[in-house]
Amino acid sequence: MTSDQFRGQQPPTPGESPDQELRVGVVGIGWAGQQHLKAYSGLPGVRIASVAGMEQELRNSLQAEYSIPNAFADWQDMLDHGGLDAVSVAVPTFLHAPIAIAALERGIHVLSEKPIARNAAEGRAMVDAARKAGRVLDVAFNHRRRGDIKALKEVIDGGGLGRPYYAKASWLRRSGIPTLGSWFTNPELAGGGPLADIGVHVLDFALYLLGEPRVVAVSAATHSELGPRGRGGGSRFTAQASSHAFEVEDFASAFLRLEGGATLLVEASWAAYRETDDQLDFTVYGTDGGAELRAHGAPFPPVGQLRVFTDRDGESADYLPPVLPGRAHDAVVEDFVTAVRGGPPEWARHDGSLAFYRAQIIDACYQSAVEQREVRL
């Protein structure tokens, strides 16, 4: 999309240049929504104008903490009230598409939590709405903003591993089903289990590290062994009486064939009999070197262990690259604001296409698991 294609669209709204105040709203006041509020509050020229969330006591507390002039229980009331240039969508997955599309149709830029939507069809509708409105649609993939991911990206892009030909990435929990019996465990509300929830993070940072190769085929399997028996909730995740049956997977693995011949294995679990702490990892083998990234613990430490394996003149030359902590949601929100202020040429580069592509791959993985065959994209 070029800037010419934005002709006839709504003119830029206030806040879309560095010297104008950007008025933002946040829908959803759980952990993710609170990360967005904190990030916006630290940016100059940004004013949190509205917040929407169903939990009245928490909503009132956050409204007071961030001096937000308008607070609503219903997101539709917030959008109807107006006065917003941009909005963050941090609510259950089934609401991503309706809220984002409604905001975009009002000329409001959108930053959505991952995944983009329950499936690729909804993701496509969101991308189409962003392009039609000529507005930004970004999706928060905060784990690619980790400092260790950034350091490894520099090694790979600098040619330190040669040509990567195999990679394995995972996010594994022992007892981490995010509220047994909640919307998370209902496929109609969540779109899937750990593959859609945390596996999409793994897929995102893996493809990002590998330079965004095209996925040509997937072969996946899903398992639902512990959740249906009421196991896997853990002390950090409520496992009380359920309002929804456990109808998603609790473990998934997917083998991806990439353009050019490289392959990628992705694993994601909410519940499995393994060590107690969560593990986020990435292993890559290249023609001139390899690397391993391990981040243990829940929540993850800001910096994991990153090792690079290579040789020089036939001798081992392994090393530990310097790693600084990443900025997670702070960086995601800051980049979103920068894109909004970049004007139409920048908006065209932020239409949600990458997140939509992630959704297409996840859909293909679920199809493969159901049909027990490789699915080509």
Residues 134, 246, single domain; the answer is: no
Count Cβ neighbours within 10 Å for each residue of 111-148 and write b for 16 or more, e otherwise. bbbbbbbbbbebbbbbbbbbbebbbbbbbbbbbbbbbb
Q: Please give the pLDDT value at position 5.
A: 36
> pTM, whole model, 2 decimals?
0.93
Could you tell me if 339 and 304 lie in one domain?
A: no
| Strand ranges across the sheet with 375-376 | 305-309, 290-296, 279-286, 164-172, 263-269, 251-258, 215-223, 375-376
Percent of the chain, pLDDT > 90? 88
* Pair 320, 211 in one domain: yes
Q: Is residue 363 part of a domain?
A: no
Residue 200 and residue 311 in one domain:
yes
Q: Which residue has the higher pLDDT, 7 or 202?
A: 202
Q: How confident is the model at residue 2 (pLDDT cuts 50, 70, 90)?
A: very low
- Left, alpha or beta for 299 (phi > 0: left; psi -120 to 50: alpha)? beta
End-to-end alpha-carbon separation of the chain, Å? 23
pLDDT greater than 90 at residue 16: no
- Do 122 and 191 lie in one domain? The reply is no
pLDDT tens digits for range 264-296: 999 999 999 999 999 999 999 999 999 999 999
The answer to the question of residue 365 being in a domain is no
The Cα 342–Cα 330 span in angstroms is 18
Q: Can you give the CATH number for the domain in which 133 is found? A: 3.40.50.720
Question: Does one domain contain both 173 and 133?
Answer: no
What would the pLDDT profile of 42-91 be if each residue is shown by its tens digit? 999 999 999 999 999 999 999 999 999 999 999 999 999 999 999 999 99
320 inside domain? yes
The yes-or-no verdict on residue 9 having pLDDT over 60 is no
153 and 285 inside one domain: yes
Q: Which domain holds residue 276?
A: 147-325
Q: Which two tokens stand for residue 271?
A: 């519940």
In a domain, 356, yes or no: no
Does residue 209 sit in the same domain as residue 229? yes
User: Residue 376 domain-assigned?
Assistant: no
Task: Residue 40: name the closest of 335, 256, 279 by CA.
Answer: 335
Looking at the structure, tell me whether residues 167 and 101 fall in a common domain.
Answer: no
Q: Is the pLDDT of residue 355 over 90?
A: yes
In this structure, the answer to whether residues 226 and 261 fall within a common structural domain is yes
Q: Does residue 247 lie in a domain region?
A: yes
Tell me the CB-side half-sphere exposure of residue 108, using CA atoms within 13 A: 25
Answer whether residue 374 is part of any domain: no
| CATH code for the domain of 161 | 3.30.360.10
Q: Look at residue 323 and tell me whether its pLDDT is greater than 90.
A: yes
Between 34 and 243, residue with greater pLDDT: 34
Once rounded to an integer, what is the mean pLDDT over residues 182-193? 94
Summary mean pLDDT of the chain = 93
Identify whether the C-beta of residue 111 lies closer than 8 Å to the C-beta of residue 89.
yes
Number of domains in the chain: 2
Is 366 among the domain residues? no
Q: Sorting pLDDT into bands at 50, 70 and 90, what band is 182? A: confident
| Cβ(257)–Cβ(217) below 8 Å | yes
pLDDT of residue 298: 72
Residues 131 and 211 in one domain: no
pLDDT tens, residue by residue, 127-172: 999 999 999 999 999 999 999 999 999 999 999 999 999 999 999 9
Does the structure show a pLDDT above 70 at 306?
Answer: yes
Other CB atoms within 10 A of residue 161 CB? 22
Is the domain of 116 the same as that of 36?
A: yes
- Mean pLDDT along residues 187-203: 97
